[in-house]
Amino acid sequence: MAFFNGTVYSRVLKMRTGLAVSTPADHSEKNSAADYPVVYLLHGLTDDHTCWFRYTSCERYAREHRVNLVMPEVQRSFYCDMEYGIPYFTYISKELPALVSRLFGMRCEKNSYVIGSSMGGYGALKCAFLNPGGYRGAAGFSAVADMSDRPEFYEREIYAINRHRVRAQDELFACAEKLTEESGAESCPELYITCGKQDFLYDGNKKFIKHLKRLGIPHTFEEWDAAHEWDFWDKSLKKAFTRFFGPISAPASSSNPTARFF
């Protein structure tokens, strides 16, 4: 495995921004990063681009399943193009794939997946609905699926981002409807959604799942006893990797040291 953690310049954001990248390709292999699927891991409201690597076994899962990981920074943006601010959704869904393809030699347009927890789960599902051709699969763990169920998100976060109003392109129920109206339910990437039964976002997730069923959007939803916590997201990530990439056929080799560049 090779690991990069640093900053890159975004023309869309007009600034440097944090980015972590992990790839199973290294100097000892004939394969390159272009030979592996790409997984974008999206962080939550109080986290940053390093948290998936720090609090889960994502790099081990990536090594076992032979996939690239891309972990971007979005601050507290809710993956929105702000009314008066930074266009983070455009960065994540449009510029980032081109950027990592150019810098790290990945083929993002061929075989990409987007996964997130909490605010990042919201972002992952939003990407799937508004840019379905960009991803083969999407997973949301404890996603902020129904903001009307959590008024603090409206008042403290979304109002500040979008000048005291919630736009249709930032509301997941409307995004799912837009997908079915414009592209058809069958155009949606494979969806895997999880939420803990003790999570404060559980009711909103159940309501959202009913909405997906009404729209006829194929999806898999799993729930078990858990709160809004990294242990649950780590287990969900392991399940998502198995669902998207199949079971591990053979133990990954541990003979090669991990190369890390900071």
Q: How far apart are CA 137 and CA 128, in angstroms?
A: 8
Q: Report yes or no on whether pTM surpasses 0.85.
A: yes
pLDDT at 258 over 90: no
Rounded mean pLDDT, 4-30: 89
Q: Poorest-confidence range of 28-37, 151-160, 172-181? A: 151-160
pLDDT in tens, 47-70: 999 999 999 999 999 999 999 999
pLDDT at residue 261 tops 60: no
pLDDT at 6: 96
The yes-or-no verdict on residue 255 having pLDDT over 90 is: no
pLDDT band (50, 70, 90) for residue 82: confident
Computed over every residue of the chain, the mean pLDDT equals 89
Write the DSSP string, the chain: -EEEEEEEEETTTTEEEEEEEEES--TT-S--GGGS-EEEEE--TT--TTHHHHHS-HHHHHHHHT-EEEEE--TT-TT-B-TTS-BHHHIIIIIHHHHHHHHH---TTTSEEEEEETHHHHHHHHHHHH-GGG-SEEEEES----GGG-HHIIIIIIHHHHTS---GGG-HHHHHHHHHHHT-GGGSPEEEEEEETT-TTHHHHHHHHHHHHHHT---EEEEES--SSHHHHHHHHHHHHHHHH-S--SPPP--SPPEEE-
Q: What is the mean pLDDT of residues 228-247?
A: 98
Sorted by where each starts, the structural domains of the chain and their CATH numbers stand as 7-14+77-245 (3.40.50.1820)
Spatial separation of the C-alpha atoms in residues 43 and 120, rounded to whole Å: 5
Higher pLDDT, 162 or 6: 6
Tokens read off for 154: 């409206």
| Residue predicted with more confidence, 89 or 157 | 89
Q: Residue 16: is its pLDDT beyond 60?
A: yes
For residues 23-35, average pLDDT: 74
pLDDT in tens, 113-122: 999 999 999 9
- Of all residues in the chain, the percent with pLDDT exceeding 90 is 75
Confidence band, pLDDT 50/70/90 cuts, at residue 140: very high
